[in-house]
Amino acid sequence: MKIIAYSSAMFSTWIFSDPYQVMFDAGDGVTAMLQHKIRRIRTIVMTHAHRDHLGGLLQLLNLRGGWGALDVYYPEGSGAFIALKEFTARFDALTAGTVGWHPVGIGSEIPLPGKRDVFLRTFPTRHYPESDSRAVRTLGYHLIERRMKLKEAFRGLPQEEIDALRRRDGKDFVLEEVESRLLSVTGDTGPLDAGIFQDSRLLFHETTFLLPKDQAETGERAHEHSNLPHVLALARDAGVKSLVLYHISTRYKPDEIREAARETAAAVGLSIPIRILMPGILTWDMMAEPDIASP
Ligand SMILES: [Zn+2]
Ligand SMILES: [Zn+2]
């Protein structure tokens, strides 16, 4: 899956899945970096209203809106998006008319235009201090493929027999619907339950800090974040197939991040491909980046 991405914690974060035309967050500079590529965007999903995630949304909507309809989805309890929606309508009525704004809650499903078997589903994250789930203000997103698969009981049968069963009892008798998580994007979050990411093919997990003590040193206690040992252990426990670390603090240098990821992966016993979205570096094809095991 081709993914273009940029992230440095505190300043700007966005992730664009090109084949599915989905933008996850819209940090400062996203339009200037993507330029004409923004025409490809059909759906924008926002994890939360912190400025490093939404700072580029106004400019993106103004320019992209001129090229046709698109939709923005945001956590339902977040007043910042309602304010931005109202401001956009007054500021630039022409393009604002092409943008659909949609509040979403936990477990909401989001259809993708022109994609029948692939959709998005939200999951709860832990970033704001309030634990009041009635007003959801932070969310993560799974990109999910839904397809029909032969039921366990019929696997190994000759095709003619399966066809006969299907004719006699209908396709629902022999087939069942299965979902695969093609991509999961956390946005900013503290530790989550591994079950949320079970078997995800690709997990983009925020990794603001390399060490737990680094967060304590910042004195930043109001908003929960994740650190490297926790993220790698979670990826192991969830059985994810491939991992990208992003939203990394600019305090760390690339060599230091790579080395820490290698050591920690060995320590927790995680041997899947792990890639690093280096802070402050625009990456045009995330999955073509070398994984940490490469020399
Ligand atoms: Zn952030
Ligand atoms: Zn945040």
| 65: containing domain | 3-149+178-288
pLDDT at 176 over 60: yes
pLDDT at 268 over 70: yes
Mean pLDDT for 271-288 is 97
Q: In this structure, is residue 224 part of a structural domain?
A: yes
Q: In this structure, is residue 158 part of a structural domain?
A: no
- The CA 193 to ligand 2 mean position distance, Å, reads 19
**How far apart are the C-alpha atoms of 114 and 163, rounded to whole Å?**
30
- The CA 189 to ligand 1 mean position distance, Å, reads 9
41: domain CATH number is 3.60.15.10
- The CA 153 to ligand 1 mean position distance, Å, reads 46
| Separation of CA 199 from chain center | 15
Question: Considering the entire predicted model, what is its pTM?
Answer: 0.94
Mean pLDDT for 255-273 is 96
User: Percent of the chain beyond pLDDT 70?
Assistant: 97
pLDDT digits (tens, 9 = 90+) for 163-172: 999 999 999 9
Tell me the C-alpha to C-alpha distance, in Å, between residue 243 and each of 110, 194, 276. Answer: 23, 13, 8
How many structural domains comprise the chain?
1
Structure confidence at residue 253 as a pLDDT band (50, 70, 90) = very high
pLDDT at 131 over 60: no
Q: In this structure, is residue 137 part of a structural domain?
A: yes
- The CA 291 to ligand 2 mean position distance, Å, reads 26
Q: In this structure, is residue 34 part of a structural domain?
A: yes
Buried b (16+ CB within 10 A) or exposed e, 269-295: ebebbbbbbbbeeebeebeebebbeee
12 near 42, Cβ under 8 Å?
no
229 near 264, Cβ under 8 Å?
yes
- The CA 21 to ligand 1 mean position distance, Å, reads 22
pLDDT at 132 over 60: no
- The CA 201 to ligand 1 mean position distance, Å, reads 23
Q: In this structure, is residue 161 part of a structural domain?
A: no
Ranges 133-142, 192-201, 284-293: which has the least confidence: 133-142
- The CA 188 to ligand 2 mean position distance, Å, reads 5
Q: In this structure, is residue 155 part of a structural domain?
A: no
C-alpha count within 13 angstroms, C-beta hemisphere, residue 231: 33
* β-sheet bridge partners, residue 7: 13
pLDDT digits (tens, 9 = 90+) for 16-64: 999 999 999 999 999 999 999 999 999 999 999 999 999 999 999 999 9
Residues near ion ligand 1 (CB < 5 Å) are: 52, 188
Stated as kind and residue range, the H or E segment containing 94 is helix 93-96
pLDDT of residue 129: 80
pLDDT of residue 295: 73
Q: In this structure, is residue 71 part of a structural domain?
A: yes
Structure confidence at residue 92 as a pLDDT band (50, 70, 90) = confident
